[in-house]
Amino acid sequence: MAGILWQWIICNLYAYLATTKRRQMITKKCNKCGKVKLISEFHKHKLHKDGHNNRCKNCRIEEKKRYWEKNLERIRERDRTYRKNNPEKAINWQENNSEKIKGYRIIYYKNNIEKIKIKGFKRRELRRYFKSKLICKICKKEFEGRSYSKYCFDCKKEEVRRRTKLFDKKRTIKNRIKRVYVNKICKECGNRFKVSLKKSNYQKFCSKECNGKASSRNLRHKRRLLIGSVHNKVYLKDLIAKYNYRCGICGEIINPDLKREDKFSLTIDHILPISKGGSHTLDNLQMAHLICNSYKGNNI
């Protein structure tokens, strides 16, 4: 019985020691905060027996922050001296780690948006209201002014006058070009009219009424071409010379000053209608009142 008891005690001891070692490997107690945490929350360290640091990651981060706040100027001076002594290494590091630097900047911007805005506002205010000694670009004398000013008070006046004169010259040249007019003959009524030099290449008619008449006539010409009748260009001045503003249907004189909406306004009539084989030539055209032309229709 005694031998069996000793065997049971030894087995339980080995089991207890094994479990305590496992627990020690899985967890560890922090010397700073005194909390038991997982080993993954401790930095690795070769000199320690278990291969991990005695302080957890959070405690070490807080220590680094305190150290950085106390020795900020000394650390910055150290970095500046290193960059001055080794400029090529600094440039190479920036080129190789550009994505990492962008990531740091984005994180800093997200965490310190209000601080960045306040700094930017203060800088703008200083630029507006803070005066410093500057050198004028024209006379090259010292003067007190804001950081963005380029000229002293006297030179600024002269510069403004010079610019206004140049602007006035350019404006007068533009106005002169606009005032140049050219005489042209209207293709519809045959009267002379003035057009600006810019519009002289494409303006062919003296008014909107003449333009409307020509466009409606062109549409009719297209219809006639589809039917297959003979089509020649006929100008209004040729019809005036032939009929002298006399209606070919009723024989009375037509007033050319009347608008198109009036019953007795001027229209051109086909003696033999196009729908019955007539042609669009000077021999087959005559002047007529609007009312006379509408009553006639396509009758001969």
Can you give the CATH number for the domain in which 54 is found?
3.30.60
Query: Is residue 95 included in any domain, yes or no?
Result: no
Question: Cα separations (Å) of 287 from 83, 209, 268?
Answer: 97, 18, 5
Residue 110 C-alpha from the chain's centroid: 27
pLDDT of 59: 92
The residue with greater pLDDT, 94 or 201, is 94
- The least confident of 20-29, 37-46, 130-139, 148-157 is 20-29
Q: What was the pLDDT predicted at 71?
A: 92
Domain presence at residue 74: no
Mean pLDDT, residues 176-197 taken together: 79
Query: In percent, how much of the chain has pLDDT > 90?
Result: 7
Range of the domain at 246: 229-296
Which residues share a beta bridge with 135? 142
Last residue of a domain, one of 6, 41, 69: 69
Residue 280 has a pLDDT of 79
Other CB atoms within a 10 A radius of the CB of residue 127 amount to: 11
Which DSSP string corresponds to 1-13?
-HHHHHHHHHHHH
Q: Which residues pair with 196 in a beta bridge?
A: 181
- Tell me the whole-structure pTM to 2 decimals: 0.29
pLDDT tens across 269-292, in order? 988 887 777 887 888 899 999 889
pLDDT for 6? 64
| Paired strand residues for 29 | 36
Asked, for residue 115, whether it belongs to a domain, the answer is no
pLDDT higher than 80, residue 14:
no
**CB burial class (10 A; 0-12, 13-18, 19+) of residue 93?**
middle
Domain assignment present for 176: no
The tally of domains found in the chain comes to 3
Cα-atom radius of gyration of the chain, to the nearest Å? 50
**Among candidate residues 171, 206, 237, the one where a domain is terminated:** 171
Residue 94 lies in a domain: no
Residue 63: what are its φ and ψ, rounded to 5°?
-65, -40
56 within some domain? yes
Report d(CA 97, CA 103) in Å as an integer: 10
The answer to whether residue 272 sits within a structural domain is: yes
Residue 112 has pLDDT above 60, yes or no: yes
CA 300 – CA 267 distance, rounded (Å): 17
Q: Distances from the Cα of 222 to the Cαs of 217, 227, 230, in angstroms?
A: 9, 9, 12
Q: How far apart are CA 57 and CA 235, in angstroms?
A: 99
> Longest Cα pair distance anywhere in the chain, in angstroms?
155
* pLDDT tens digits for range 44-99: 888 887 888 888 999 998 998 899 889 999 999 999 999 899 989 888 988 899 89
Residue 18: band (very low, low, confident or very high) from pLDDT cuts 50, 70, 90? very low
- pLDDT reported for residue 13: 60
- Number of neighbouring beta carbons within 10 Å of residue 231: 16
In a domain, 129, yes or no: yes
